[in-house]
Structure 1
Amino acid sequence: MPSASMYRKCTNHPRLPSPGLPGLSIRSTPFSKRPSAMRSILALGKRIAEAVAVMLFLAMFSIFLLQVFTRYVLNHPLGWTIEVCLILYIWLVFWTAAFLLQESEHVTFSMLAEAVSPAKRRIFMIIGSLCLMVGFGSALPTVVDYVDFMQIESAPITQIPLSYVYAIFPVFLLAVTLRSLLRLISLIRQRPAARPAKPPVPAAGPDKLSSSDQHEAMSK
């Protein structure tokens, strides 16, 4: 029958690396240290948005080079290249602003907010997020209706319906509305930082007294 010392020797063996995965132990990672499902979904969505932005930029740049080549080398420019570049540029700008740019990367007027205390700055940020959410959210139905109406018009050269060209506008409004809502919830849940305690005022010593006070103290 195995003794207690033999059992401890068997259970205290070093962790063995799992086959095919160097550096990983056989024991599973604790559940609290695993990334949450929401964080994984957001990371996957960001990678997809970055991939779409890269493809839009590569397509626009390739068509731009084709336009330069046909105009200055072949002396036979293609008319559709300018139109497609403009459409791709519109999609690239609004797609990037909707899904990739952070709040700090947008153009903001922060002189007034930086001149007040952190508690008042938090109130300004709540008001700003609320205004963005209400403004963009209320404009979304009208923009969707206008984009749907523009399907009767087409681009002059490529004959692409303008509803496809402007379809990025409702996507942009919806993304900004949802991001403003999430930021508003985060700001409301955030507790204002406590003000730091003032350091105690040191007692006035002889070196802190004026010359007249020092003379009176010495005379006494």
Structure 2
Amino acid sequence: MHSTSSLPLALRLLRWLRLGANHVQVVMMATMFVSFILQIMFRYVFNKPVAWTEEICVITWIWGILWGASFVMSNREDIRFDVLIGQVPREVKRWFTVVVSVSVVVILVGSMPSAWSYVTFMKVESTASLGIRMDHLFSIYIAFVVAMVVRHLYIGIEALRGRLYDDPLTTDGAKDPV
């Protein structure tokens, strides 16, 4: 196992960013949980339901899912439907991976202008209780698209190099950096 100081700077920076993303995810999930408990308390204990707690739950749920998929999950943690791909030889798996990765990148890049247009248009709307502009809330989707494009470019390039996401970990136990 490598000591932290012997790792290349880029890999140390990537690990530091991933740790920071994990902390942000924890804060979002804790915020959602506390808001949910407050919602129950206001509704059933005080008999005075409030809308802002539900808004916070919905916002942190959406952001938590897209943030986690973008910055917290590694390639090995993705859910994959591999019934077909698990039955083919490794070389065919590689090409399936390349085709799927290219397809995902093309679709997401192709959808980006429309997504950007929608997100920027939503600056005219705000949430009902907290008054948060909708373009700020939906901006996480743009980050998600960019992260997925980068991730699938990486997966496709690695497949072209002969490495697949389900290959065993390296001999030193390191996981993939993305």
The normalised TM-score by structure 1 is 0.69
Give yes or no for the alignment of 1:190 onto 2:138. Answer: no
Alpha carbons of 1:51 and 1:191: their partners in 2 closer, same or farther (altered >3 Å)? closer
Q: What residue identity is the alignment partner of 1:66?
A: L
Q: Report the CA distance shift for 1:173/1:58 in structure 2 as closer, same or farther (over 3 A).
A: same
What residue number does 1:54 align with? 26
Stretches of structure 2 lacking an aligned partner (at least 5 in a row):
165-178
| 2:109 corresponding residue in structure 1 | 137
Q: Which of residues 49, 55, 77 is equivalent to 2:49?
A: 77
Q: 1:36, CA displacement in angstroms?
A: 0.8
* Residue 191 to residue 39, structure 1, CA distance change in 2 (3 Å): closer
In structure 2, C-alpha distance between the alignment counterparts of 1:152 and 1:191, rounded to whole Å: 46
How far apart, in 2, do the equivalents of 1:107 and 1:164 lie?
Answer: 28
* Mapping of residues 46-195 of structure 1, within 5 Å: 46-190=18-162
Written as runs of structure 1 = structure 2, the 5 A alignment for 1:196-207 is none
Q: How many angstroms apart in 2 are the aligned matches of 1:57 and 1:42?
A: 22
Counterpart amino acid of residue 161 in structure 1 = R
With the length of structure 2 as denominator, give the TM-score of the two structures.
Answer: 0.84
Quote the Cα distance in structure 2 between the aligned partners of 1:191 and 1:59: 39
CA drift of 1:164 comes to 1.4
Distance change >3 Å, CA 159–CA 125, structure 1 → 2: same
- C-alpha change, 1:186 and 1:157, in structure 2 (3 Å) is same
Please give the secondary structure, in 1, of the residue aligned with 2:48: coil
AA paired with 2:45? Answer: V
Task: Measure how far apart 1:172 and its partner are.
Answer: 0.3
Shift of 1:168: 0.6
For 1:119, give the aligned amino acid.
E
Higher relative contact order (Cα pairs below 8 Å, separated by 6+ residues): 2
Q: Conserved in 1, the CA contact under 8 Å of 2:104 and 2:149?
A: yes
Say whether residues 1:45 and 2:17 are aligned partners: yes
Q: What are the ranges of 5 or more consecutive residues in structure 1 without an aligned counterpart?
A: 1-32, 193-220
The sequence identity of aligned pairs, in percent, is 30
Q: Which of these two proteins has the greater Rg computed from alpha carbons?
A: 1
Rounded to whole Å, the distance in 2 between the matches of 1:79 and 1:146 is: 26
Query: When you count helix as a share of all residues, which structure comes out higher?
Result: 2
Partner AA of 1:75 in structure 2 = N
**Equivalent AA in structure 2 for residue 97 of structure 1:** A
Does the Cα contact within 8 Å between 2:94 and 2:162 map onto a contact in 1? no
Task: Give aligned pairs, total.
Answer: 160
- Any idea what SS the aligned residue of 1:133 has? helix
